[in-house]
Amino acid sequence: MSTPPRSRLRATDARLPLTTAAPPEGTRRRILETALQLFASRGYHDTSIRDLATALELRPSALYAHFAAKDHVLAELVRIGHEAHFEALETAFRDAQPTPVAQVRALVHAHTRVHAEHPQLAMVVNEEFYALSQELAAPAQVLRDRANAMLMDAILRGQAQGQFAPLHPAITAAAIVGMGSRIPHWFEPGGPIEVEALANTHAELALRMLGHASST
Amino acid sequence: MSTPPRSRLRATDARLPLTTAAPPEGTRRRILETALQLFASRGYHDTSIRDLATALELRPSALYAHFAAKDHVLAELVRIGHEAHFEALETAFRDAQPTPVAQVRALVHAHTRVHAEHPQLAMVVNEEFYALSQELAAPAQVLRDRANAMLMDAILRGQAQGQFAPLHPAITAAAIVGMGSRIPHWFEPGGPIEVEALANTHAELALRMLGHASST
Amino acid sequence: MSTPPRSRLRATDARLPLTTAAPPEGTRRRILETALQLFASRGYHDTSIRDLATALELRPSALYAHFAAKDHVLAELVRIGHEAHFEALETAFRDAQPTPVAQVRALVHAHTRVHAEHPQLAMVVNEEFYALSQELAAPAQVLRDRANAMLMDAILRGQAQGQFAPLHPAITAAAIVGMGSRIPHWFEPGGPIEVEALANTHAELALRMLGHASST
Amino acid sequence: MSTPPRSRLRATDARLPLTTAAPPEGTRRRILETALQLFASRGYHDTSIRDLATALELRPSALYAHFAAKDHVLAELVRIGHEAHFEALETAFRDAQPTPVAQVRALVHAHTRVHAEHPQLAMVVNEEFYALSQELAAPAQVLRDRANAMLMDAILRGQAQGQFAPLHPAITAAAIVGMGSRIPHWFEPGGPIEVEALANTHAELALRMLGHASST
DNA sequence: AATGAATGAGATTTCATTCAT
DNA sequence: TATGAATGAAATCTCATTCAT
């Protein structure tokens, strides 16, 4: 933050609610909500403890009653984000018809919804993840790998069963996952595009990329 | 950089050459090359002038004979990156057959090549752009908008001519552009995937997303 | 301060008390007292935050809990000085007989006392005022203008009533005011000249300059 | 100088000619003229070698072919100022009738002229003198003391001869000298007051302060 | 006489954090 | 749970100056 007036934000700086994976109320929750907003719009390294305290109308030292250090706040947000994401994918997968097409559709739909409904969390999870030490990032990394595996697994089963004709499964999977990651960079909640429409469109785009016949 | 031992990097920290849009040699060029590497792997705000000077085996004050301020180094990299990107797209567009399909294929191919051949520059251009003041970012923003317009224009012409059946042109364009932006996050130059293969695959994926008939 | 050994001081470096317009006690008061001494003897621009912190047996960063920036310390001293000066003049004017002669005598007497009793504050107020931005200097400028107006008004009334025969009112006013401003450059508190004697002498000199008949 | 926009100047920043005590032409002269302007309006410590070089359209290192160090530039200006001042006083004294009244009138007239015609030099001589080490200031200090002695001597002779009735010779001398020193703080060359009128007025004010009978 | 590149010291200020209260 | 005061380290940047050219 600091002195030079930065007018452009990376992401919306609206005050968005946290997911249910966060603590329900109290100062700890307020800190997380405010940090989320600041980390998303200015970045972790460009947000100081003083910026955070100022936005909370607290003194910097007060934060240390709730978090051991600045990076623990980020780690908690990253954890919350990954848990919300993973749970959404797991639920979608469990509720889908047990076919690769249905599963990919469900996974991409859920992946998109999470990114569009929680763009700040998605921004922090995707862009500020690398500011964490390996130790603090580890729990999130596990979920990240499992989520990717779910999608890759469905793609490969679909290919084996002849429903998909991917040009290159790994490249295509990266493209599909990336479609979601980019959402907070351009999507505006409350704008002209509905979250549900976006999720459906992304699901169909994924199937098109995979060469699924009926998706024209 | 700071204290906490960060083992994971955001992008390759290999020493990659700059594009021809950069100054040919001398200390200014060395500063840009080194800054590119550091900004790409650790981020602009997590790279200090001291880190940069140390990597260059110079004293911090020596940098100020070449750049007025830290953000001017970033601005120059962002400018170089956008110019290289824009020139690649322009050349590809000019050399392509004058049909929407050929043009989209050429644009996506070029877009992908630039991101895969200059992943550090792509990372800095895409992720650290927001650290610049509006004033310093303005020249790059112009090129960014023009590049997006080139693609969008080809998509809409293809749709009008019946070669494309996009589900939603704006969402699809964002997905296509985003495919490139994500490359430095996962693609390793010199790894198992060739740049040319990646570029061709992305071009075909784009046509599939646009619902181009023969791309199955 | 810096390297070159400066042996000569501009003003006494004795530790003089601040006026009652200053905060009564605490670190903020200590900072102001020490800054006053340093700014008066070495000048604002030649006194670093480190010099100030060293003299206070504090770390430089500790000062920022009390003042937002170095120039805010100067601005506060300038404010205190102007308030003490203006109040002294106002009180003297109020308590004087309502004749121009008595008023000029009272104003010059008070003006002189303030400069002789607070030579460091007078030095900082007169010589370092220009180091402040217009914004920070504004409150002091208002008092300065009002004080000058009080004197000028009395002079012009005395002239209109025939008690004064000034050669040139504006030049004479500048000379009278300047007599006070020069005090910290030569007057030594505790030296051979008493403050009260100096104040009386300056008052009579002012009346002589104004061509007041009985002042021989 | 530096970043914060300082709008108020201590003295006129017009480009005024140097006295004949300065080198006649060439870069050394240009440096002195430009330094005079900057030191007078912003102060010695707030003017950097870079500021000076920039104003001269030279590189900072070029200055070192002409002056050994920054303080040598100031010392030279201080020397020039004191020589011009002392010569003016000496000439005026020599040409005056050999009476205390005529000598005081001549000395004050010359003292005033020098300050009014060279306000920048007067400002630097009076306010930045203290930035010099004792060694560099010594030659100027000699002239300063001799000039004060000339005036004090005339005053005491006039008192002994009954032409002056000073309330306190030392205080009065300080007031008379101070009248001149204050000139650059308020007097504007080319403004409504002529230099000659100012010099005459100051001379009469001095005689009034000294209690000279006919000066009413 | 002037330049470009560099330096070592130091400038002001901000950083995350601690600790007594 | 929060505060005010303080700290040590580090941030960006400027300083006067040097030196090879």
Report chain C (216 residues): mean pLDDT per 10 consecutive residues: 49 67 80 96 96 97 97 97 96 98 98 96 95 95 97 98 97 98 94 97 98 72
The confidence band for A14, taking pLDDT boundaries of 50, 70 and 90, is confident
D42 is a domain residue: yes
C19 lies within 8 A of chain D by CB: no
Distance C66 CA to F3 C1' (A): 15
B175-202 per-residue burial string, b: 16 or more CB within 10 A, e: under 16: bbbbbbbbbbbebebeeebebeebbbbb
SS3 content of chain B, % helix, strand, coil (to 5): 65, 0, 35
pLDDT, position A16: 63
Residues 164-203 of C with CB under 8 A from D: 165, 167-168, 170-172, 174-175, 177-179, 181-182, 185-186, 193, 197-198, 201-202
Q: Is the CB of B66 under 7 A from strand E?
A: yes
C211 lies within 8 A of chain D by CB: yes
C89 is a domain residue: yes
Q: Is the pLDDT of residue A167 over 60?
A: yes
C69 lies within 8 A of chain D by CB: no
DSSP letters, A98-140, are: SSHHHHHHHHHHHHHHHHHH-HHHHHIIIIIGGGS-HHHHHHH
- Domain containing residue D63: CATH number: 1.10.10.60
pLDDT, position C12: 72
As a whole number of angstroms, the distance between CA D120 and CA D24 comes to 18
Q: Which residues contact D172 (CB under 8 A, 6 or more apart)?
A: C201, C205, D155, D166, D209, D210
Average pLDDT, chain A: 92
The confidence band for A9, taking pLDDT boundaries of 50, 70 and 90, is confident
Look at chain B and report how many structural domains it folds into.
1
C12 is a domain residue: no
Average pLDDT for residues B92-104, to the nearest whole number? 98
Q: Is the pLDDT of residue A35 over 70?
A: yes
As a whole number of angstroms, the distance between CA B51 and CA B174 comes to 35
- pLDDT tens digit sequence for A123-155: 999 999 999 999 999 999 999 999 999 999 999
D19 is a domain residue: no
C133 lies within 8 A of chain D by CB: yes
C178 is a domain residue: yes
D79 is a domain residue: yes
CA separation, residue B68 to residues A51, B1, B115 (Å): 27, 22, 28
pLDDT, position A10: 82
pLDDT, position D171: 98
Q: Is the pLDDT of residue B142 over 80?
A: yes
The confidence band for A2, taking pLDDT boundaries of 50, 70 and 90, is very low
Long-range contacts of A24-33 (CB under 8 A, 24+ apart): A27/A58, A27/A62, A27/A66, A28/A66, A28/A67, A30/A56, A31/A56, A31/A63, A31/A66, A31/A67, A31/A73, A32/A73, A32/A76, A32/A77, A32/A80
Residues of chain A neighbouring B197 (CB-CB closer than 8 A): 168
Residues D41, D112 within the same domain? no
D136 is a domain residue: yes
What is the interface size between A and B, counted as CB pairs within 8 Å? 113
Burial class (CB in 10 A: 0-12, 13-18, 19+), A17: exposed
pLDDT, position D22: 66
Range of the domain at C164: 70-209
Do residues D39 and C168 lie in contact, with contact meaning Cβ atoms separated by under 8 Å? no
Task: Using the C1' atom of nucleotide F12, identify the protein residue whose alpha carbon is closest.
Answer: B49
- Domain containing residue C200: CATH number: 1.10.357.10
Residues D124, D137 within the same domain? yes
As a whole number of angstroms, the distance between CA B156 and CA B162 comes to 10
Average pLDDT, chain B: 92
pLDDT, position C5: 43
Ranges in chain D, pLDDT < 70: 1-8, 15-17, 19-24, 214-216
C196 is a domain residue: yes
Q: Is the pLDDT of residue B134 over 70?
A: yes
Burial class (CB in 10 A: 0-12, 13-18, 19+), A59: exposed
> Where does chain C have alpha helices with state H?
27-42, 49-56, 60-63, 70-95, 100-117, 119-127, 134-160, 169-181, 183-186, 195-209
pLDDT, position A5: 42
Distance D48 CA to F16 C1' (A): 8
Tell me whether residues B205 and A209 touch, CB distance under 8 A.
yes
Residues D92, D32 within the same domain? no
Average pLDDT for residues A111-129, to the nearest whole number? 96
- Tokens (6 digits) for A72: 């623990």
Burial class (CB in 10 A: 0-12, 13-18, 19+), D169: middle
Q: Is the pLDDT of residue B46 over 90?
A: yes
